[in-house]
Every structure is written in structure tokens, then in C-alpha cells.
């Protein structure tokens, strides 16, 4: 049997392989999926991909499986470790962070203002794979970004540096950095004017750098021997799918609960009335990563947050369940417990992603302002990740979004009438990477994948 597209989502724990085939009329459809443990410890992730193909063949009852194109996303290498350096934390640094997170990078260190020798020591200690230098609106302050360029030029690190700051300082900063042997990638300013974010050009460069450096991750050196196009970060792929989703359903929110993290992607401008009192700009497409919220690797964190005593009153076999937690629940009792952890991850990650209403006091008395991402205009929330696509409790977890805004009425959360859906086939990452090859095909597959549920 030959399929048109295979996609491999290489995660920290498992590798998920999805197959897509033309139905004969030119329309692509999802065929099936195979999984296997990610074989980073074996020093070669292609072993896990081949094992996942074997599982897929078994599920399709096929002895042979060929493919026209194999695409891949990855988070197995821990993402693209980077540092971010800007001028004012709430302005250019924030914009740079938004660009990095939306591209699937892992930000390890952030500085605002002029860098110090201590900052350089921290960067060396982190040993990033990429550095992002920003600062100053276009035609505005130049001194800080040029100072930071001179500081970064002293680093004995051979890693790319993206310049996404004041356009009038770009040429001089590039000259300073290249004189010390650094590779410099100049792009548009992430914060070109007051109250304007411009993060997409930087996101694209970060994705491109990831594709080039993915082979340096543990076990990834053979990946391009079987993959036909650039490997992109799994979180970036999910963001691309979120943008496709917004083309069809407008204001959307995607929650991805995994074993190690819970990621939230939103695509919305928010309510126009909230925009009038927003004190700082937010990107149209925003991603947050909650590195302490997960239902396997970080299950202990979630248990601590909920409270062990509280969970023991709900689960009298708590100690036994704890011993049996795995990426794949072994029985219904364990699945029930995992769904309880997932509910906490779901609600907490959305609340952390959302902004809030604050009251300030000034010469004219008390005024209300909004800060952070406004989710009040969200029309559709889609769950993805293992729990929110495969658990029999997925709707029970996701329906709690309808009560969030009532329970936390000072936070800019989705309203009760928000629709809820699931990534039926667990292919959001797959669709994101397919969209880099054929956006139309990805959009049509997405329409077929969305499974709606009325809360």
C-alpha cells in the first residue's frame, strides 16, 4: 500500500505517525495512526519512526507501506534553547518573547536594558542554540541595542544571532557582531512602533533555524535521511494549525495537554470594548507554555497544586494509582485520575494565558484597565494532546470552560457560550506541517478532523 503523506510527531515520550491518502477524487483524507516510544535513548529517533510504521501497518492490516512524502515535527530535542535580549521588558522584550514562544523555542534567559558581564556569564552557562537581540522602536533609542550587540560579540559561542530591533541600528549591530565571527540574521523589528507588535517575521526565522539545528538534538542526527522537508517544532506546527482554524472559525483557542507541559494557543483580537482599555498590545496569535503542568512527567507538580489530601478524599486508592501512572492509562481508574489532573491543567493553563481587569487610582480617581490577552471573544475552543483527544473524559474536562468566566470574573476568559471541540484524530501537529507544503489540503483535512460537542 502507498500513501500520499506520512507525518511523524516526535515527542519527548512517544512518536505518533499519521497517514493521509487521496480518496481518488483528489481529496485527501486521514487514513490511520501508529505510535511507538520515541527512541532518543537509543541514539536514533528514526528507529521509533520505523516502529510506529510497523504499528500502523498492523492496524491497517497491510504487510507493506510506502509513502510519497514523509514530514516531521519534533519536541524530542527539548525545543530550540534560546536567550532573548531587549530594551524595555514590557515592550520589546515582551514582543521578542512572543515571537520566540510562537515559533516553538524554549526561552532560558531574558534581559531588559543594557547587558552586564553577569548576563554574559548566564548566557554562557545556558549555552543556547540561538540568541534573539531586539530593542528600540524604529528611529528611536539606539544606544542600548548597540551596547548589547557589543556585549554579545564578546561571547565565545558559535550560534546564530537574530537581530529584530530598531531598524536604524541594524546595519551597525550586524557589523559589530559579524566582525567577531557571529552569524547574524537581520529581520523586521518585533516592536516597530509604540503599541504595535510585529512578531511573525522573527517566528519564521526561528522555525528555519530550528530546522537546521534539529540534527544536533539527542538522537536526531539521522532524521533528514528519511524526512523529505524541514523538521519544524511541534509547538510551531500547532500554532500554524491554530491560524488555519481561525480562518474557518475566527476567534479560536487551542489547549494541548501533554505529559510534560500544557500549551495554549490563541488567535483573537479580543473584544473591541476591552481593546479600548488595554494598556499594552498583545499579538493576534499568542502561545504560552506551562512547563509545570503535565499529566505524566509533571504529574507530581499537578498533584501538589491540587493537594494530596484533597485527591486522597476523591481517590481512596490514591497510592496505588500513583504507582501506575504512565503515558497510556492501564485501567479505567487510572484514566479517571489522569482526567482529574487534566482538568486542573486545562483550567489553570487557560487562566495563565488570559489577561485580567485591574483597577488603578490616579488624579481622576479609580479607572479600570485591561492587561494581557483578551479571550472574551473566543468562539471556539479545541482540545488536542492525548487526554483531550483520546480520553473518554475529554468532554467532561473541556466543558468546565463554560463556567470559568463566572468563577473568575476579573479575568479575560472565554464566555459561557463558547463552543467546544476536539482534534478527533490527534493530528493538529500533522496538519501544521502539512500546511507548509499545501495549505489548501491542510485546511480541508482540518474541517474533517474537528469534532464538536455542546457543553
DSSP string, 96-125: HHHHHHHTTEEEEEEEESS--HHHHHHHHH
What pLDDT is stored for residue 325 in this prediction?
84
Q: What is the helix (H) or strand (E) element at residue 200, kind and residue range? A: helix 200-213
Domain ranges in the chain are 2-74, 80-215, 238-436+449-453
Query: Residue 46's pLDDT is what?
Result: 92
SS3 for 442?
A: helix
CATH 3.40.50.720 for domain 2-74: no
Question: Does domain 238-436+449-453 sit in CATH 3.30.420?
Answer: yes
DSSP code string of 198-254:
--HHHHHHHHHHHHHHGGGSTT-TTGGGT-SS--EEHHHHHHHHHHHHHHHHSSEEE
Cell numbers for 376:
472574551
- 411 Cβ contact list (under 8 Å, min separation 6): 351, 354, 355, 356, 357, 404, 405
Q: How many residues appear in the chain?
A: 455
Residues pairing with 453 in the sheet: 420
Q: Smallest Cα–Cα separation from 327: which of 7, 10, 37? A: 37
For residues 39 and 223, the answer to whether their CB atoms sit within 8 Å is: no
Contact 56, 67 (CB under 8 A): no
Q: Decide whether 2-74 matches 238-436+449-453 in CATH topology.
A: yes
What contacts 247, CB < 8 A, 6 or more positions away?
Answer: 443
- What is the distance between the alpha carbons of residues 7 and 379, in angstroms, rounded to a whole number? 29
Residue ranges of the chain with pLDDT lower than 50?
455
Q: How far apart are CA 360 and CA 353, in angstroms?
A: 22
Find the largest Cα–Cα distance for the chain: 77
Give me the pLDDT at residue 295, please.
93
Round to whole Å and give the CA distance between 330 and 313. 22
Q: pLDDT tens for residues 48-98?
A: 999 999 999 999 999 999 999 999 998 865 567 899 999 998 888 888 888
Name the superfamily (CATH) of residues 80-215: Flavodoxin domain (3.40.50.360)
- What gap in Å lies between CA 260 and CA 263, rounded to an integer? 10
SS3 content of the chain, % helix, strand, coil (to 5): 40, 25, 35
Q: Which set of grid coordinates corresponds to residue 153?
A: 560579540
Amino acid at each position: 500500500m502507498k500513501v500520499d503523506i506520512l507525518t511523524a510527531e516526535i515527542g519527548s515520550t512517544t512518536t505518533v505517525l499519521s497517514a493521509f491518502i487521496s480518496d481518488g477524487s483528489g481529496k485527501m483524507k486521514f487514513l490511520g495512526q501508529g505510535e511507538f516510544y520515541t527512541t532518543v535513548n537509543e541514539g536514533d529517533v528514526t528507529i521509533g519512526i520505523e516502529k510506529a510504521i510497523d504499528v500502523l501497518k498492523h492496524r491497517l492490516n497491510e504487510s507493506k507501506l510506502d509513502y510519497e512524502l514523509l514530514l516531521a515535527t519534533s519536541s524530542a530535542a527539548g525545543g530550540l534553547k534560546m536567550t532573548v535580549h531587549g530594551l524595555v521588558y514590557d515592550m520589546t522584550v515582551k514582543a521578542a518573547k512572543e515571537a520566540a514562544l510562537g515559533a516553538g523555542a524554549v526561552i532560558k534567559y531574558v534581559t531588559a536594558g543594557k547587558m552586564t558581564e553577569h548576563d554574559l556569564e548566564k548566557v554562557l552557562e545556558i549555552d543556547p542554540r540561538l540568541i534573539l537581540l531586539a530593542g528600540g522602536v524604529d528611529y528611536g533609542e539606539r544606544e542600548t541595542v548597540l551596547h548589547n550587540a557589543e556585549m554579545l560579540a564578546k561571547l565565545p559561542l558559535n550560534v546564530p544571532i537574530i537581530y529584530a530591533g530598531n531598524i536604524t541600528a541594524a546595519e551597525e549591530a550586524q557589523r559589530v557582531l559579524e566582525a567577531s565571527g557571529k552569524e547574524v540574521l537581520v529581520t523586521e523589528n518585533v516592536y516597530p512602533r509604540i503599541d504595535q507588535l510585529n512578531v511573525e517575521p522573527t517566528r519564521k526565522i526561528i522555525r528555519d533555524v530550528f530546522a537546521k539545528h534539529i540534527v544536533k538534538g539527542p538522537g536526531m542526527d539521522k532524521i533528514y535521511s528519511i524526512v523529505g522537508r524541514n523538521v519544524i517544532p511541534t509547538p510551531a506546527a500547532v500554532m500554524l494549525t491554530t491560524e488555519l482554524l481561525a480562518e474557518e472559525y475566527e476567534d479560536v483557542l487551542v489547549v494541548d495537554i501533554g505529559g510534560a507541559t500544557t500549551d495554549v494557543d490563541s488567535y483573537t483580537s479580543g473584544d473591541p470594548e476591552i481593546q479600548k482599555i488595554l494598556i499594552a498590545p498583545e499579538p493576534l496569535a499568542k502561545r504560552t507554555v506551562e512547563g509545570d503542568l503535565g499529566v505524566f512527567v509533571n504529574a507530581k507538580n499537578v498533584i501538589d497544586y491540587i493537594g494530596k489530601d484533597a485527591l486522597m478524599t476523591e481517590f481512596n486508592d490514591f497510592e496505588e494509582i500513583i504507582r501506575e501512572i504512565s503515558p497510556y492509562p492501564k485501567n479505567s481508574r487510572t484514566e479517571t485520575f489522569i482526567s482529574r489532573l487534566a482538568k486542573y491543567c486545562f483550567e489553570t493553563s487557560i487562566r495563565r494565558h488570559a489577561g485580567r481587569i485591574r483597577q488603578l487610582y490616579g488624579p481622576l480617581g479609580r479607572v479600570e484597565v485591561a492587561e494581557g490577552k483578551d479571550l472574551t471573544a473566543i468562539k471556539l475552543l479545541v482540545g488536542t494532546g492525548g487526554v483531550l483527544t483520546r480520553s473518554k473524559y475529554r468532554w467532561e474536562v473541556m466543558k468546565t470552560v463554560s463556567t470559568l468566566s463566572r468563577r473568575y470574573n476579573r479575568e479575560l476568559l472565554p464566555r459561557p457560550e463558547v463552543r467546544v471541540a476536539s482534534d478527533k484524530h490527534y493530528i493538529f501537529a500533522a496538519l501544521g506541517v502539512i500546511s507548509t507544503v499545501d495549505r489548501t489540503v491542510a485546511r480541508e483535512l482540518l474541517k474533517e478532523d474537528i469534532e464538536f460537542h455542546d457543553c
